[in-house]
Structure 1
Amino acid sequence: MIGLYHPRARGRCRMTKKPDPFTVPFGSILCDWMTTARADDGPFVYRGSPEPFGDLSISPAAHVLHYGSAIFEGLKAHRQVDGSVAIFRLDSHVARMVTSASRLRLPEIDPSLLHQMIVDAVAANADEVPDPPGSLYIRPTLIGTGADIGAAAHPASSALLFVVNSPVGDYFKGGIRPLTLQLETSTPRTVPQFGMVKCGANYAMALGPTLDAMAGNEAIDQVLFATEGDITETGASNFFLADDERIVTRHLDESFLHGVTRDSVIQLARHFGYEVEERSIDPEELVDWSERGEAFLSGTAAGVAPVGTILYSGKTLTIGTGQPGPNTLRLRQALTDAQTGAAPDTFVWRTPVGSQ
């Protein structure tokens, strides 16, 4: 008899019908299979195969619900030009999640175990990977589950690690279009000490300013944070300036997320011969760049997204012509080609995945 979680049983399970990912909000469709592993005062234990997607059961006293012991990652699998599926920058995302777990004093993650859980989940859901420009969004998550409401000064000793997938279309509505950003100079982007950790609190920090900006001007797509006069990132993406010879982005420190897509863009730019400047960016620089350069965002969800307008101190800065610039489009296409197998895997970024 074949059990519910046996690979051959999965092969017999019909994929449930789902809407076109380009017609619904990003991340709102969930695939049929997931992977889970639990740690109870020891290492994580993974059953070795995917299980049907379903609700999780945790105690009302779970550490995560009271003390915020939660981290996650966001990466993608892409349909390749030959019809196969590959995960983009898998090892880099695994490494970042391992670091995040350590910073929040969550149980240690074995990188090889997380790697396998992600590959298994994507393989089980391979039929749901849409054709480009769509992709399969991958969300590994780790939460503290120990039932102890008095554990404010203690780390979670037990935890749940799980991976779910979502077929997605464009992150920003309208596809490739120039975005409008509102510059925010007073509110911090992240929680001090944990800026480089991918945890919910950092996204909550950006939510209020972003919603307030959008409520005041429906044309605004994102808020660009420049706390204490130093531009770092938006609530979901890193920020770049570009011209025909160079790209400029904020140097890394612990105040904001070290984007994997940011790193991909930098490596591609150097490969093309651009000079790369990683340094502080004063908001006043935007006036000069608006007259002669380009700006764009980078992120797993957004890819490379052109910026056409920045609202700053009552001024409306039109970046270049206000339309996607040639350097932005060149880097965007190079990233897409690297993700989808349309270009050689020069940097060894793709992890092939077979369906199960």
Structure 2
Amino acid sequence: MRQEIAFVEKEELKRKPDTASLGFGKYYSDYMFVMDYHSEKGWYDPRIVPYAPLTLDPAATVFHYGQAIFEGLKAYKTPDGTIQLFRPEKNMQRLNDSCERLCMPQIDEEFLLSAIKELILTEKDWIPSEVGTSLYIRPFIFATEAYLGVRPAQEYKLLVILSPSGAYYGDQLNPVKIHVEEDYVRAVIGGVGHVKTAGNYAASLKAQEKAEANGYAQILWLDAKENKYVEEVGSMNIFFKINGEVVTPKLNGSILPGVTRDSVIELLNYWNIPVREEKISIEEIFAAHERGELEEVFGTGTAAVISPVGELNWNGRVITINDYQIGQLSQRIYDELTGIQLGKKEDPFNWTVKVAHVEV
């Protein structure tokens, strides 16, 4: 039997931020969704409450053994006032995949999605409608049991917070410079690289810091075993257009199965544009550039959607892609995906999920 979601009203609502200053992940709405778990009770006490700090025991196992996972998706407001989500069932499935890998309790995907919809309706005034903006949705689960023994926790907390956001990289379609990491690795097959656990991102910070100090926006990770095969960018999957064909690294257990990645592959197949998922080495990428066949490089992810790449630096070898201009295919994909997400283009894939209609 489905649990009722309690609601605790906030006494005073926040002032909404200026849309022009949104950036990404800087502001948070008035309310959040919370639900708790105990091994003897299951998930219980779902509620929408005022956004506020949390109180945790210093011995909470999340601090010591890192059981923490998250997801990221967005709500959009269409020109006619419809609020909609983009393939949210994929995020719910991936959240449970992360739970399974980190020995955390599974969630009822349908119930959590309904709770997210209810939270969005509560916070509908926080959804920006200007070009390039959206309401970012961050569900996350972490261990709360006070216990210092090494084993899966018996208690957890699930939260969903909302953040009105603009472009992830500022000028959304301005090609970024990417450093190919030579010293550090992101993940290994058999590890946790294929799930969204917090530790993956903590482990990437050192390399990211080094790259930014040298003027690069992101890291391109290579495989951990041979340090030669392309895997993914720090916050995105990666695609290469070579001599008319699109190539992206094949999912291998250490690469995150991105929702946007999957959508791009479906879109390219729909357009009858050749696309292959396969192991591809960084040497092959640089060789394609030398032959004049590397036409476009772009990253894909929920936050950025499509991020064109203008430069790759590998062991001091620097190549420029498409003269630092966004490629025609990258632009077409971006226009199509954002058009579907914003309700401006037809959705032949049934990717969008309607939440509600509001007055515009």
TM-score, scaled to structure 1: 0.92
Q: Post-superposition shift, 1:276?
A: 1.2
Determine which of 72, 75, 78 is the counterpart of 2:73.
75
State the alpha-carbon separation in 2 of the partners of residues 123 and 289 from structure 1: 49
Which has the higher mean CA deviation after the structures are superposed, 200-209 or 163-172?
Answer: 200-209
2:22–2:164 contact (8 Å) kept in structure 1: no
Counterparts of residues 288-307 of structure 1 (less than 5 Å): 288-290=287-289, 291-292=292-293, 293-307=295-309
State the alpha-carbon separation in 2 of the partners of residues 19 and 243 from structure 1: 42
Determine which of 119, 124, 127 is the counterpart of 2:125.
127
Map of 1:166 onto structure 2: 163
Q: Per-residue CA shift, 1:167-186, capped at 9, x if unaligned? A: 00010022210110011134
1:238–1:298 contact (8 Å) kept in structure 2: yes
State the alpha-carbon separation in 2 of the partners of residues 245 and 294 from structure 1: 10
**Partner amino acid, structure 2, of 1:234:** V
Q: Per-residue CA shift, 1:105-162, capped at 9, x if unaligned? A: 0122111222122212212111111113100110001011111112x1x211111011
Map of 1:139 onto structure 2: 138
SS of match in other structure, 1:284: helix
SS of match in other structure, 1:262: helix
Map of 1:156 onto structure 2: 153
Map of 1:237 onto structure 2: 236
Counterparts of residues 54-133 of structure 1 (less than 5 Å): 54-131=52-129, 132-133=131-132
1:107–1:156 contact (8 Å) kept in structure 2: no
**Partner amino acid, structure 1, of 2:234:** G
TM-score, scaled to structure 2: 0.91
Q: Post-superposition shift, 1:25?
A: 4.1
Q: Per-residue CA shift, 1:252-286, capped at 9, x if unaligned? A: 01112111110011111111111110001111222
Q: Post-superposition shift, 1:61?
A: 1.0
State the alpha-carbon separation in 1 of the partners of residues 142 and 357 from structure 2: 28
SS of match in other structure, 1:352: strand
Structure 1 residues 325 and 174: CA distance shift in structure 2, 3 A: same
State the alpha-carbon separation in 2 of the partners of residues 145 and 6 from structure 1: 23
2:239–2:248 contact (8 Å) kept in structure 1: yes
Q: Per-residue CA shift, 1:52-96, capped at 9, x if unaligned? A: 111122211111111101100011111112122111110000000
State the alpha-carbon separation in 2 of the partners of residues 306 and 351 from structure 1: 27
1:207–1:235 contact (8 Å) kept in structure 2: no
State the alpha-carbon separation in 1 of the partners of residues 100 and 282 from structure 2: 34
Q: Post-superposition shift, 1:244?
A: 7.3
Q: Post-superposition shift, 1:198?
A: 0.2
Q: Post-superposition shift, 1:245?
A: 3.7
Q: Post-superposition shift, 1:348?
A: 1.5
Aligned pair 1:223/2:212, yes or no?
Answer: no
1:248–1:279 contact (8 Å) kept in structure 2: yes
**Partner amino acid, structure 2, of 1:29:** Y
Which has the higher mean CA deviation after the structures are superposed, 280-289 or 317-326?
Answer: 280-289
Which has the higher mean CA deviation after the structures are superposed, 139-148 or 81-90?
Answer: 81-90
State the alpha-carbon separation in 1 of the partners of residues 193 and 257 from structure 2: 9
Structure 1 residues 14 and 78: CA distance shift in structure 2, 3 A: farther
State the alpha-carbon separation in 2 of the partners of residues 89 and 177 from structure 1: 26
Counterparts of residues 29-44 of structure 1 (less than 5 Å): 29-41=27-39, 42-44=41-43
2:16–2:126 contact (8 Å) kept in structure 1: no
State the alpha-carbon separation in 1 of the partners of residues 147 and 7 from structure 2: 35
1:72–1:139 contact (8 Å) kept in structure 2: yes
State the alpha-carbon separation in 2 of the partners of residues 317 and 269 from structure 1: 26
Structure 1 residues 194 and 22: CA distance shift in structure 2, 3 A: farther
Structure 1 residues 232 and 140: CA distance shift in structure 2, 3 A: same
Which has the higher mean CA deviation after the structures are superposed, 316-325 or 68-77?
Answer: 316-325
1:176–1:306 contact (8 Å) kept in structure 2: yes
Q: Post-superposition shift, 1:15?
A: 4.3
**Partner amino acid, structure 2, of 1:324:** I
Map of 1:334 onto structure 2: 336
Map of 1:197 onto structure 2: 195
Structure 1 residues 295 and 159: CA distance shift in structure 2, 3 A: same
Identity %: 34
1:178–1:307 contact (8 Å) kept in structure 2: yes
1:22–1:168 contact (8 Å) kept in structure 2: no
SS of match in other structure, 2:200: helix
State the alpha-carbon separation in 2 of the partners of residues 289 and 296 from structure 1: 15
Map of 2:248 onto structure 1: 249
**Partner amino acid, structure 1, of 2:304:** A
SS of match in other structure, 1:225: strand
More strand by share: 2
Aligned pair 1:259/2:261, yes or no?
Answer: no
State the alpha-carbon separation in 1 of the partners of residues 244 and 350 from structure 2: 26
State the alpha-carbon separation in 1 of the partners of residues 342 and 194 from structure 2: 28
Would you say how many aligned residue pairs link Structure 1 and Structure 2? 345
